[in-house]
Structure 1
Amino acid sequence: MSDLPKDTYARNALTTPTRSKERADWDRYSLHAILDAGYLCHLGFVRDGRPVVLPTLYARVGERLYIHGSTGSRPLRGAQDDQGLAVCVTVTHLDALVLAKSAFHHSVNYRSVVAHGTAYQVTDPAELRAALDAIVDQVVPGRSADCRPGNAKELAATAVIRLDLDQVSAKSRTGGVNDDEADLDLPYWAGLVPVSPVRGAPEPSPHTDVPLPGYLAGPAC
């Protein structure tokens, strides 16, 4: 039992927000749920003394994030050596617009994760293939088994970096409008406007002559 992961991640200066600390969460399973609900992250690092943030795809496998890139990408090259690359990875879901009667109290409901650490390039061929399959399935569950796997040339042009989930926390806002009591009778509409991603109806390519796979035939999401 001692080898099982603890239920919470460590709280420290790096993983504790300086504002609205009551919205922070270090629960391992809540944090995993936020990561598993998405597939687009933002990867931050320092290049030539300047901050850089890039959008890219990711997958969570256990206590690791696998982040997709190209072998020609500078952050991926920076993660090749034994020292790795210091990164910050963020994932955010927007759930609602919060419209208050005052401009000051407008807000959004959201769920987010911030992970700090040192990323390393995945070099083991078996781990690289598994990581790429996981990234494909993070976007469309079941897809990796229903397409041609990468060949040697394609794998040579693809890179993945690995970040262990250690210095990590979640932050979220839920609930309604927090208007000041003095503003409650003002003649303005206030409330929530829900926001959610919607996947449209699949559009087959001209070279597709097979039925729509079951993993795409469900409700749009």
Structure 2
Amino acid sequence: RSARQDPGLAVCLTVTHVDGLVLARSAFHHSINYRSVVVQGIARQVTDEDERRTALDAIVDQVVAGRAADSRPANAKELAATAVLRLDLAEVSAKLRTGGPNDEPEDLALPYWSGVVPVRQTYGTPEPAADLDPSIPLPEYLSR
């Protein structure tokens, strides 16, 4: 069927990223700092092979910039086994929390630590595959 005939599938996608643990003097007021988005829309399958390859390259490069050009492209079997969807947005909402704890005024003099413990996600040192030819250098984009 053509994309015009494809009614698509109604979807809701939610992503939350935790930025920190908010520790108040009272356990009741503990919280988290976060960024969250909710997307509602219609998902449709991308059938054009060039569009599919471009989308897959974009996903790879989003994870590690420059990697799509520095790896073998999907072969016909891999491409056939992978669905690529386009999401036509109908509604999007975002919510976030930042800042420190909201302690009660009467709790401020209590002898309990209060503050934010940042949550970080970082990349570690690349580890070569056990069967990697030792003459193949670490790509520049992984040494940044």
Q: How is 1:162-177 mapped onto 2 (pairs within 5 angstroms)?
A: 162-177=86-101
The alpha-carbon deviation at position 90 of structure 1 amounts to: 1.7
Is structure 2 residue 77 aligned with structure 1 residue 158?
Answer: no
TM-score using structure 2 length: 0.90
For residue 89 of structure 1, what is the aligned residue in structure 2?
13
The structural deviation recorded for 1:182 is 1.3
Give deviations 1:174-207, integer Å, cap 9, x for gaps: 1111111111112211111010101111000023
Q: Is 2:121 the partner of 1:212?
A: no
How many equivalent residue pairs? 138
The AA in structure 2 aligned to 1:132 is L
1:115 counterpart = 2:58: no
Counting only pairs closer than 5 Å after superposition, residues 115-154 of structure 1 correspond to structure 2 as 115-154=39-78
Distance in 2 between residues matched to 1:166 and 1:144, nearest whole Å:
30
Superposed CA deviations along residues 118-139 of structure 1, whole A, max 9, x for unmatched, are 1111111111101110111111
Q: Give 1:148's aligned amino acid.
A: R
- Cα deviations by residue, 1:132-173 (Å, 9 ceiling, x for unpaired): 101111111111000000011110011111113441122111
Structure number with the bigger relative contact order (C-alpha 8 A, sep ≥ 6) is: 2
1:190 aligns with 2:136: no
Task: State the Cα RMSD in Å.
Answer: 1.3
Report the alpha carbon displacement of residue 96 of structure 1 after superposing the two structures with TM.
0.6
**CA contact under 8 A between 2:42 and 2:89: conserved in structure 1?**
no
Amino acid at match of 2:49: P
Structure 1 residue 107, shift from structure 2 partner: 0.6
* CA distance in 2: counterparts of 1:207 and 1:128, whole angstroms: 30
Amino acid at match of 2:63: V
Aligned counterparts of 2:88 and 2:140: Cα–Cα separation in 1: 33
Q: Deviations over 1:15-68 (max 9, x none)?
A: xxxxxxxxxxxxxxxxxxxxxxxxxxxxxxxxxxxxxxxxxxxxxxxxxxxxxx
C-alpha contact 2:10 2:42 (8 A) present in aligned 1 = yes
Report the AA paired with residue 6 of structure 2: D
In structure 2, the partner of 1:37 is: none
Structure 2 gaps, min length 5: none
CA distance in structure 2 between the aligned counterparts of 1:161 and 1:128, rounded to whole angstroms: 9
Report percent identity of matched pairs: 69
Bigger Rg over Cα: 2
